[in-house]
Amino acid sequence: MKKNKLLYLPTLLVLAAIVFEMSSDLYLPSMPEMALYFSVPDHKIVLTISLYMVAFSVMGLVGGSLSDHFGRRPVYLCGLAIFALASLGSLLATTIETLILFRLFQGMGAGISYVISTAMIKDSYSDEQCSKLFSIMGMAIAISPTVAPILGSYISSYWGWQMNFTLISITAFFIWGISQLFIIETLQQEQRQDLNLRKSFKTYGFLFTNLSVIGNSFISGMTYGSLWAWITLAPFYFIDTLKFNTQDYAVYAAIGPASYMVGALLNQKLVSHLGVDKMLRIGLTITVIGSIILNIVSYSYAQSIICIVIALIVFCVGLAPVFSNSATRSLNVPASQLGAASAVLALVEMVLAGIYSYLVGWFNKGTLYPATITMLLSSIGCVALYWLIRQNKKYQSNEVKSS
């Protein structure tokens, strides 16, 4: 029976991860409509995205430690329950403050369960199997920003924006229910660890002061944040300024994530031949060029959708090698610190994405400028940070041969 349940484990974990991602992506095209419904400025609606990301990242730090002590299954199911109940609360929210609060709880539940899902796979499978499963999970999550806005746009057009939250709520409770039946404990009693806060703080203190770890985490986070700056602002520009309907906008919304996936496939093919650092430099160069073109286009040809799309494609293709290879460099730590370094990376990525999303929403005046300027400054900042890391002798002495 346990062996049969083990077969269901990766499927359930991947499904849950997709729902966590879709809980934000699904209602992106509906944000202008939601701002009108609640009679609030755009940046208040964007807070429902930003605070979800921050809560997700912070609880990811907590969830791993709790599961090491109490076991994977109970903490994972607790996170799912919090997410499901918060999804229902989001659906029933009658004020923007209530919606923001429940989205915060959604992020907390998702953060707990997501970080534990990777640990459960690592507990249960060989390294080769883990690599394949993580690739599948990554591809499934990457597809969500492409498919979910299109699905969400049709849902909101026919049934209103609330139906997106209805779908998430039903799916969340369904996954929680079947997880109760089929998710097994993967961490045996003798493998569990005592809660040692002092040791954890010491490890995190070292990682946050390590230039290679924190510097590359910031490069990855600024890259991820740039993508979310565009994803957050684009619906307001296309729908409110250019008067696109939600279905037409959703097609354009898929271009950025789809271009990113193309860049990811190219990186996968080339990194073994060119090395991590060279691919990182190539990606940084492309993002700088793409962001410059995007700013020129947004100022000079703001109504030319084709020009905007071409510039966006260039930028997003470059994002993938930057994101992937800076993340790889940030995890060049001893095996005993790998879990903590992964948590630091996730924290920086999600917090910066949340901050970027909120800032572009705050400065939104019906143009693309807040997003395109953010993307340009971040690209230049990433280049400067990469140069600073490369000048560090300690980093150079520790870098792997493939660079």
HEC profile of the chain:
CHHHHHHHHHHHHHHHHHHHHHHHHCCHHHHHHHHHHHCCCHHHHHHHHHHHHHHHHHHHHHHHHHHHHHCHHHHHHHHHHHHHHHHHHHHHCCCHHHHHHHHHHHHHHHHHHHHHHHHHHHHHCCHHHHHHHHHHHHHHHHHHHHHHHHHHHHHHHHHCCHHHHHHHHHHHHHHHHHHHHHCCCCCCHHHCCCCCHHHHHHHHHHHHCCHHHHHHHHHHHHHHHHHHHHHHHHHHHHHHHCCCCHHHHHHHHCHHHHHHHHHHHHHHHHHHHHCHHHHHHHHHHHHHHHHHHHHHHHHHCCCCHHHHHHHHHHHHHHHHHHHHHHHHHHCCCCHHHHHHHHHHHHHHHHHHHHHHHHHHHHCCCCCCHHHHHHHHHHHHHHHHHHHHHHHCHHHHHHCCCCC
pLDDT in tens, 269-316: 888 888 888 889 999 999 999 999 989 988 876 667 888 889 999 999
Query: What confidence score (pLDDT) does residue 287 get?
Result: 94
pTM (predicted TM-score): 0.76
- Asked if residue 13 has pLDDT above 70, the reply is yes
Least confident of 100-104, 310-314, 320-324: 320-324
Query: What confidence score (pLDDT) does residue 402 get?
Result: 37
- Asked if residue 343 has pLDDT above 90, the reply is no
- Asked if residue 9 has pLDDT above 80, the reply is no
Mean pLDDT value across residues 105-117: 88
Domain map (residue ranges) of the chain: 1-185, 196-403
The closest alpha carbon to 322, from 206, 220, 197, 395, belongs to: 220
Query: What confidence score (pLDDT) does residue 5 get?
Result: 52
- Asked if residue 142 has pLDDT above 90, the reply is no
CATH number, domain 196-403 = 1.20.1250.20
Query: What confidence score (pLDDT) does residue 238 get?
Result: 85
Lookup result for tokens 């208040």: 44
- Asked if residue 385 has pLDDT above 90, the reply is yes
- Asked if residue 382 has pLDDT above 50, the reply is yes
Confidence of residue 394 (pLDDT cuts 50, 70, 90): low
Query: What confidence score (pLDDT) does residue 401 get?
Result: 38
Query: What confidence score (pLDDT) does residue 189 get?
Result: 67
Do 1-185 and 196-403 show the same overall fold? yes
Query: What confidence score (pLDDT) does residue 109 get?
Result: 94
pLDDT in tens, 174-193: 999 998 888 877 776 666 66
Least confident of 67-76, 195-204, 309-318: 195-204
Using CA atoms, how far apart are residues 157 and 245, in angstroms rounded to an integer?
A: 9
Question: What average pLDDT does the structure give for the chain?
Answer: 82
Neighbouring residues of 201: CB distance < 8 A, sequence distance ≥ 6? none
- Asked if residue 356 has pLDDT above 80, the reply is yes
Least confident of 338-347, 358-367, 390-399: 390-399
Contact in structure between 272 and 300 (CB atoms under 8 Å): no
The closest alpha carbon to 203, from 44, 342, 367, belongs to: 342
Query: What confidence score (pLDDT) does residue 351 get?
Result: 87
Question: Treating both helix axes as pointing N-terminal to C-terminal, what angle do 369-391 and 338-362 enclose, rounded to 10 degrees?
Answer: 150
Mean pLDDT value across residues 58-82: 83
Query: What confidence score (pLDDT) does residue 83 get?
Result: 96
Least confident of 293-307, 360-374, 376-390: 293-307
> 106 vs 57, which has greater pLDDT?
106
pLDDT in tens, 83-96: 999 999 999 999 99
Using CA atoms, how far apart are residues 166 and 88, in angstroms rounded to an integer?
A: 7
- Asked if residue 138 has pLDDT above 70, the reply is no
Q: Which two tokens stand for residue 338?
A: 């790998």
Neighbouring residues of 170: CB distance < 8 A, sequence distance ≥ 6? none
Confidence of residue 400 (pLDDT cuts 50, 70, 90): very low
Q: Which two tokens stand for residue 365?
A: 């005046």
- Asked if residue 350 has pLDDT above 50, the reply is yes
Query: What confidence score (pLDDT) does residue 82 get?
Result: 96
Contact in structure between 333 and 213 (CB atoms under 8 Å): yes
Range among 203-212, 286-295, 358-367 with highest mean pLDDT value: 286-295
How far is residue 392 from each of residues 304, 341, 379, 387, measured CA to CA in Å? 44, 19, 20, 9
- In CATH terms, 1-185 corresponds, of 1.20.1730.10, 3.40.1350.10, 1.20.1250.20, 2.130.10.10, to 1.20.1250.20
Q: Which two tokens stand for residue 321?
A: 């090698």
- Asked if residue 2 has pLDDT above 60, the reply is no
pLDDT in tens, 226-254: 888 888 888 888 888 888 887 787 777 77
